[in-house]
Amino acid sequence: MNNFQYKRVSSPIAAITELAKDPAAKLVAGGTNLIDLMKYGVMSPDKLVDVNHLNFNEIVKQDGSLHIGATVRNAVASANADVLKYQPLLSQAMLSGASPQLRNKATMGGNLLQRTRCGYFYDISAPCNKRQPGSGCGAMGGYNRMHAIFGASSSCIAVNPSDMNVALTALDAVILVTGPKGDRKIPISDFHRLPGTHPELDTTLDRKEIITGIVIPDNAFAANTTYIKVRDRASYAFALISVAVAMELEGTTIKDIRLAMGGVAHKPWRLKEAEQMLKGKQASVENFKMAAELAMKGARAYEHNAFKLKLAPNTMIQALKTASGIKA
Amino acid sequence: MSKKHLENADMELAMSRVDGRVKVTGAAKYTAEVQLPELTYGVLVESTVGQGVITSIDTKKAEWAPGVIAVISHLNTPGVPEYKLQNQDVIQKQLRVFNDANVYFNGQPIAVVVADTLERAQYGASLVKVTYSKEKSFSNLKDNIARAIVPKKAKADPKGMTSDFIRGRAEAYKDAEFQVNEEYIQPSEAHHPMELHSIIATWDAEDKLTLVDKTQGSQQTAASIAKSFQLPAENVKVLSTYVGGAFGSALRVWPHEIVAILAAKKVQKPVKLVLHRNQMSYMVGYRPYTLQKVAIGASKDGKILGLSHESYGKTSMYEEFTENVLIMSRMMYDIPNVDTKYRIVPLNVSTPAPMRGPGEATGSFALECAIDELSYKLKMDPIELRLVNYAAQDPDKKIPWSSNFLKECYQLGADKIGWNKRKAEPDSIQDGEWKVGYGVATGTFGAFRNAASVKATFKPDGTLLLQSAIADIGPGTATSMTAIAAKNLGIQPENIAFQLGNSTFPKAPMQGGSNTVATVGSAVVATCDNLKVELAKRAAKQKPEWNNAIPKNISIVGTQLVNSDEPSSKVEIASLFKEDNLSELVIKGDAAPGEESKKYSFYSFSVHFIEAHVHELTGVVRIKNAVSVIDCGTVVSPKTARSQSMGGIVGGIGMALMEDVVIDDRTGRTVTASFGDYHVPVQADIPQMEMMFVNEKDPYLNPMGSKGLGEIVIIGVAPAVANAVYNATGKRVRHLPITPDKLI
Ligand SMILES: Cc1cc2nc3c(=O)[nH]c(=O)nc-3n(C[C@H](O)[C@H](O)[C@H](O)COP(=O)(O)OP(=O)(O)OC[C@H]3O[C@@H](n4cnc5c(N)ncnc54)[C@H](O)[C@@H]3O)c2cc1C
């Protein structure tokens, strides 16, 4: 790890100023991702600006939405009574990520910005367009079992590893940010990017902006949500495939539904076509299967991840069954 | 008849781990935690190509970095004297670290940066720039199977397990009515003990070296290092008081240990070198990727007529690693015709190492899955099939077993897991969304014994100190040795201390191959007997009846020495020290195996039962129940034996379901080196486990009646899982690990 300065700031302005002043500065929150990447030599900021003392640590149920501050710990948010009551999907997704120790440190803002777990991104002796633009993609012709089946480009096939982000995507969350040009609200589906020709950019957040919080609009999904994560062991592993379902049922009719998938793309993958198809339909395994087939349109596999073409729809069917309680 | 076997419920009263408290409170200091004055820190620079020659090493930036004391590579190494000798052992040709510019595998240590702090050494190491003349590297076994060779060891030992072997006729399976002929792959597995490999090297004088080192054999490491550096044997002292697991990875000296010693020579200060977790998967050995072909033929009644078994394992370009993959096929079942073929494939990988159940764990995966496959073809219960082919004596050596309670194992385990719930037809039990299946497999490992000595220091207050050079890599050696001594002498365990892990203590073998209890335990018994004889001799001066006392009848009860033959002849222990005013009695005991291995075949046995649930849509496997039944002779320390067995099941589940060292064959680089990518079981993967011990004495191996335990607890677990998964789903996975993608 390189030598770096550490600066603790107590106002958003001060944080923004530090970022504006020093292009090699980075914010640090829980540090569970950034410090790891620094130890591997993947990232080497010369200054860490500590956001833990900004006042972004509240969870507030407002009229029409739930607001969660950027520095709220994943452990705190997932156990919060309002989160459990209004957005249980988010809690479930967060609890399926990492370990209790990590969730005690990890923040909402940091989780939104956690970087890919692609082994070639982590190994500084390997080429990686995300780590070193122009150096090539190690994963494309390498070991790509964990990699994307949607939205990849010829420069990057990495996936976003977050569980929380998948739930937030299904819940139409909005990311609140502030920066030199003032405040912005970014819908989560516009927050994370596809790799295109610039895989070094994970999100649309400007380098000088900071996340202050997340807003989730109220919905009528709480009774029928689920997050299913398929992984290589029972806990403490990243998703091979994960699916978030939030649905509103009227009897056995699907009045409204949100679907998002993890482990499949450079960003949490919203399944709008499948949602459209299911809306107004009967909750039945037959319809779930049709929706899952639709969801897989455009999927493309690489040498080691072809199984995802089957595991993804299977997991989606399972998630729909679990969320609806419909078994047949 | 009272029940002899031990199960979970019997453990409560058993003795607890004597070093449990210091381990869980952190008071036990492992190598990496040891602090010395003037300590410096070494961090390795590794090759990033799989094969080639180093053309330049630019160390300037690193040398100028704050805190850096030295950067050492082949360009400026003080040198390892042994490398210059001509008579290097041709089979065990270790990697000659820093000897020249050649690179044989990706991740090979090629330089070390020594600094005043760990962080500065790490940063310094990141500044070393290396260029190579790169050559094509070969790391895939299947693609390079044409490079397979007969190991030199086979030529040197034509009767050994690596030589081509035929009993009866070769390929006799072909004549049988029912046949299985399949290929099985066990990928490389890293040992990944919790403790990282670490060493602190200190040159006390020009020709005198002290090492604090993670090793499974303090004396063997000392001897190996003394040879490498051409030092008098007594001038190398090795301490490994606590070892946080090893599973075989610390059975030899590795390059990083040589590097630490070279670095300490160069900087003239103690050097601590701790491997990074990722380096643990390619710098300290691994269970090698092995492809096996197994063909079995049986008649309608299940009698196996022929078994052919071939094994191809990875090894490095510079060293031949072999293991007993095929032994079980030769001795486990009563089969008239057996042929085996063992090959290794030299590749651009580091040298493998024995890993818990070395060879047998790999071999049993193929053999015990093939037997299971045969049982379905025959429509015969897999336990029944094994019983039909039960070997009443060792069919390989053609001598009787010293003891063999396999039949009892099958019976106890089948009852415990509820084998009668199993359906012969696969994919026929459903529990909601989960498919349920049961599997069984057998394990075996030679029961060995070596020579060892123990030193006892007995005090007038009745406390006893025992010392042996043996390592304790986790099984609880100090605990089991204390239990043996306590039982022999009658002294309360809390009045006994057992010290180990020090090369200056009395002779012991390495802790490996499940021989510690048999070997060191026997020396403990000999030492305790010697002590009793000495005490009786002294007692006889007070009461002549003691002249006739025999050790078996002598015990220490409270503060007194008692002879059960002559209860009235009690003497006070303290009085025995008075005559010559001794402050303590120092007694040694030696023990060595005799001729028994010529007459009997010594093996431990295990049978593992698994209940697996497989999700119908996602292919996720959950092990719901595991039962291991163990024939390891007399159990000397039930609690630690149970812990060993639990560890074996956990390791076996890891092997079956998730562990996989993956190499990118374009570069030879390990892509699953980090703990994020290399999965070992977490608590949530581990089911209810029942460990049962037959607990019947082996009459011949040693005075305790014990056989080895450490290996058989894992051997056979992975095939039991694979067989349970097949029973649940009808899907036969022959390429481990059984991850969800293979079951959908
Ligand atoms: C062993 C391990 C296992 C894991 N398993 C999982 C898993 O199964 N599922 C899962 O979803 N995650 C998993 N994680 C990832 C974990 O969720 C993230 O590391 C964590 O959420 C990051 O949060 P943090 O606060 O520690 O971020 P940091 O490491 O502090 O920061 C991460 C990034 O966010 C930026 N940042 C932080 N706060 C702000 C802010 N307010 N505004 C702008 N930028 C900001 C930082 O500059 C940095 O670039 C795992 C992590 C580890 C180490």
Closest chain B residue to A317 measured between Cα atoms?
B617
Query: Does the domain made of A5-52 have the CATH classification 3.30.43.10?
Result: yes
DSSP B17: P
In angstroms, what is the span from residue B119 Cα to ligand 1's centroid?
Answer: 23
Beta-strand ranges (E) seen in B34-115 are 40-46, 52-58, 68-73, 102-103, 109-115
Most ligand 1 atoms within 8 A of CB, residue of A7, A11, A16, A32 to mutate? A32
pLDDT tens-digit profile of B199-245? 999 999 999 999 999 999 999 999 999 999 999 999 999 999 999 99
In angstroms, what is the span from residue A203 Cα to ligand 1's centroid?
Answer: 14
Would you tell me how many other CB atoms lie within 10 Å of the CB of residue A257? 27
Q: What is the 3-state secondary structure (H, E, C) of B545-584?
A: HHHHCCHHHEEEECCEEEECCCHHHCEECHHHHCCCCCCC
Amino acid A4: pLDDT: 96
Q: Is the pLDDT of residue B90 over 50?
A: no
Cβ pair B671:A142 closer than 8 A: yes
DSSP A18: H
Of A1, A122, A315, the CB nearest to B674: A122
Cβ pair B123:A3 closer than 8 A: yes
**What's the one-letter identity of residue B382?**
P
User: Which residues does residue A253 pair with via DSSP β-bridges, in sequence order?
Assistant: A250, A282
Between CA B339 and CA B171 the distance in angstroms is 7
Topology annotation, domain B34-136+194-245+250-281: Aldehyde Oxidoreductase; domain 3 (3.90.1170)
Amino acid B89: pLDDT: 55
Distance from CA of A151 to the nearest CA of B (A): 21
Q: Is the pLDDT of residue B189 over 50?
A: yes
pLDDT tens-digit profile of B393-427? 999 999 999 999 999 999 999 999 999 999 999 99
Cβ pair B617:A3 closer than 8 A: no
Q: Is the pLDDT of residue B51 over 80?
A: yes
- Of A270-274, B86-90, B403-407, B506-510, minimum mean pLDDT range: B86-90
Assess whether the C-beta atom of A162 lies below 6 angstroms from ligand 1: yes
- The token pair at B452 is 């060892």
Would you tell me how many other CB atoms lie within 10 Å of the CB of residue B352? 25
Beta pairing class for A182-187 and A174-179: antiparallel
Beta pairing class for A182-187 and B236-239: unpaired
Catalytic residue among B82, B257, B696, B711: B711
The candidate with the shortest Cα–Cα distance to A234, out of B281, B190, B660, B654, is B654
- The token pair at A270 is 């919203």
Between CA B412 and CA B442 the distance in angstroms is 13
**What's the one-letter identity of residue B13?**
L
DSSP B684: G
Between CA B178 and CA A124 the distance in angstroms is 53
Cβ pair B667:A126 closer than 8 A: yes
Superfamily name and number for A225-324: CO dehydrogenase flavoprotein, C-terminal domain (3.30.390.50)
Cβ pair B672:A2 closer than 8 A: no
Residues of chain B with a CB closer than 8 angstroms to some CB in chain A: 48, 119, 122-123, 126, 433, 615, 617-620, 622, 657-658, 662, 664, 666-667, 669, 671-672, 674, 676-677, 679, 681-685, 737, 739-742, 744
Range(s) within chain B of domains with CATH label 3.30.365.10: 399-448+600-744, 452-592
Predicted structure pTM score: 0.97
What b/e sequence results for A278-289 when a residue is b if at least 16 CB atoms lie within 10 Å of its CB, and e otherwise? Answer: beebebbeebbe
Distance from CA of B76 to the nearest CA of A (A): 25
Query: What is the pLDDT of chain B when averaged over all its residues?
Result: 96
What distances in angstroms separate CA A55 from CA A27, A45, A72, B112, one per listed residue? 15, 24, 10, 45
Assess whether the C-beta atom of A203 lies below 6 angstroms from ligand 1: no
Amino acid B2: pLDDT: 59
Spatial contact of B294 and B320, defined as CB atoms under 8 Å apart: no
What b/e sequence results for B236-258 when a residue is b if at least 16 CB atoms lie within 10 Å of its CB, and e otherwise? Answer: bbbbbbbbbbbbbbbbbbbbbbb
Cβ pair A141:B666 closer than 8 A: yes
pLDDT confidence bin for B92, thresholds 50/70/90: low
Domain boundaries of chain A, sorted by first residue = 5-52, 225-324
Residue whose CA lies nearest to ligand 1 atom number 2 = A98
Between CA B626 and CA B690 the distance in angstroms is 6
Q: Is the pLDDT of residue B625 over 80?
A: yes
Cβ pair A311:B622 closer than 8 A: no
Q: Hey, of B620, B650, B743, which one would you mutate to test binding to chain A, going by the most A CBs within 10 A of its CB?
A: B620
What b/e sequence results for B283-315 when a residue is b if at least 16 CB atoms lie within 10 Å of its CB, and e otherwise? Answer: bbbbbbbbbbbbbbbbeeebebbbbbbbbbbbb
pLDDT confidence bin for B9, thresholds 50/70/90: confident
- The token pair at B58 is 């630019």
Torsion of CA A49, A160, B614, B372, to 10 degrees: -100
Between CA B700 and CA B266 the distance in angstroms is 52
Cis before A217? omega within 30: no
Amino acid A283: pLDDT: 98
In angstroms, what is the span from residue A6 Cα to ligand 1's centroid?
Answer: 18
Topology annotation, domain B399-448+600-744: Aldehyde Oxidoreductase; domain 4 (3.30.365)
State the average pLDDT over residues B316-334: 97
What distances in angstroms separate CA A31 from CA A69, A105, A110, A162, B522, one per listed residue? 17, 8, 8, 15, 53
* B616 assigned to active site: no
Amino acid B87: pLDDT: 62
> Which residue is associated with the tokens 């699916």?
A243
User: Which residues does residue B589 pair with via DSSP β-bridges, in sequence order?
Assistant: B454
Distance from CA of A245 to the nearest CA of B (A): 16
Question: Of all helices (H) and strands (E), which one includes residue B727?
Answer: helix B717-729
In angstroms, what is the span from residue A31 Cα to ligand 1's centroid?
Answer: 7
Q: Using CB atoms within 10 Å of the CB of residue B479, give its burial: 0 to 12 exposed, 13 to 18 middle, 19+ buried.
A: buried
Angle between helices B638-657 and B717-729 (to 10 degrees): 50
CATH architecture type of domain B452-592: 2-Layer Sandwich (3.30)
Cβ pair A314:B662 closer than 8 A: no
Most ligand 1 atoms within 8 A of CB, residue of A33, A49, A94, A211 to mutate? A33
Q: How many CA atoms lie within 13 A of B611 on its CB side?
A: 23
Spatial contact of B328 and B364, defined as CB atoms under 8 Å apart: yes
Assess whether the C-beta atom of A202 lies below 6 angstroms from ligand 1: no
Between CA A110 and CA A32 the distance in angstroms is 8
Q: For A161-190, give the DSSP string.
A: --SHHHHHHHTT-EEEEEETTEEEEEEHHH
Beta-strand ranges (E) seen in chain A are 5-8, 25-28, 47-50, 59-62, 65-69, 174-179, 182-187, 210-217, 225-230, 241-250, 253-262, 269-270
Q: What is the 3-state secondary structure (H, E, C) of B325-375?
A: CCHHHHHCECCCEEEEEEEEEEECCCCCCCCCCCCHHHHHHHHHHHHHHHH
- Of A166-170, A321-325, B14-18, minimum mean pLDDT range: B14-18
Amino acid B707: pLDDT: 97
Q: Is the pLDDT of residue A14 over 70?
A: yes
Atom of ligand 1 nearest to the CA of A94: 11
pLDDT tens-digit profile of A31-78? 999 999 999 999 999 999 999 999 999 999 999 999 999 999 999 999
Q: For B387-423, give the DSSP string.
A: HHTB-SSBTTTTB-BS---HHHHHHHHHHHHTGGG--
Would you tell me how many other CB atoms lie within 10 Å of the CB of residue B556? 23
The candidate with the shortest Cα–Cα distance to B237, out of B501, B419, B420, B632, is B501
Q: Hey, of A147, A233, A236, which one would you mutate to test binding to chain B, going by the most B CBs within 10 A of its CB?
A: A233
Most ligand 1 atoms within 8 A of CB, residue of A107, A121, A168 to mutate? A107
Cβ pair B618:A228 closer than 8 A: yes
Q: Name A312's Cβ contacts closer than 8 Å, sequence gap at least 6.
A: A149, A241, A243, A261, A264, A292, A295, A296, A299
What distances in angstroms separate CA B586 from CA A209, B498, B530, B681, B709, one per listed residue? 74, 14, 10, 46, 31
pLDDT tens-digit profile of B696-735? 999 999 999 999 999 999 999 999 999 999 999 999 999 9
The candidate with the shortest Cα–Cα distance to A261, out of A217, A215, A295, A219, is A295
pLDDT tens-digit profile of B276-321? 999 999 999 999 999 999 999 999 999 999 999 999 999 999 999 9
Q: Using CB atoms within 10 Å of the CB of residue A134, give its burial: 0 to 12 exposed, 13 to 18 middle, 19+ buried.
A: exposed
Q: Which residue has the higher pLDDT, B371 or B3?
A: B371
Q: What is the 3-state secondary structure (H, E, C) of B610-654?
A: EEEEEECCCCCEEEEEEEEEEECECCCCHHHHHHHHHHHHHHHHH
Most ligand 1 atoms within 8 A of CB, residue of A19, A113, A186 to mutate? A113
Q: Is the pLDDT of residue B91 over 70?
A: no
In angstroms, what is the span from residue A97 Cα to ligand 1's centroid?
Answer: 11
Between CA A147 and CA B373 the distance in angstroms is 34
Q: What is the largest CA-CA distance in chain A?
A: 61
Cβ pair A232:B622 closer than 8 A: no
Q: Name B641's Cβ contacts closer than 8 Å, sequence gap at least 6.
A: B6, B630, B632, B635, B691, B693, B709
Spatial contact of A172 and A131, defined as CB atoms under 8 Å apart: no
Between CA B251 and CA B548 the distance in angstroms is 45
Beta pairing class for B40-46 and B271-274: parallel
Between CA B244 and CA B195 the distance in angstroms is 5
Amino acid B94: pLDDT: 86
State the average pLDDT over residues A246-275: 98
Cβ pair A143:B662 closer than 8 A: yes
> Which residue is associated with the tokens 């390990």?
B670
Closest chain A residue to B122 measured between Cα atoms?
A1
Of B617, B667, B682, the CB nearest to A234: B682
Chain B residue numbers with beta carbons less than 8 Å from the beta carbon of A311 are 618-619, 740-741, 744
State the average pLDDT over residues B500-526: 96
Amino acid B649: pLDDT: 98
Between CA A77 and CA A108 the distance in angstroms is 8
What distances in angstroms separate CA A181 from CA A113, A208, A287, B117, one per listed residue? 21, 9, 47, 43
Q: Hey, of B669, B686, B735, B738, which one would you mutate to test binding to chain A, going by the most A CBs within 10 A of its CB?
A: B669
Of A228, A235, A307, the CB nearest to B744: A307
Chain A residue numbers with beta carbons less than 8 Å from the beta carbon of B679 are 232-233, 237
- The token pair at B178 is 């029912």
Helix (H, G, I), strand (E, B) or coil at A203: strand
A and B: number of Cβ contacts within 8 A: 86
Assess whether the C-beta atom of A97 lies below 6 angstroms from ligand 1: yes
The candidate with the shortest Cα–Cα distance to B654, out of B356, B434, B255, is B356
Helix (H, G, I), strand (E, B) or coil at A246: strand
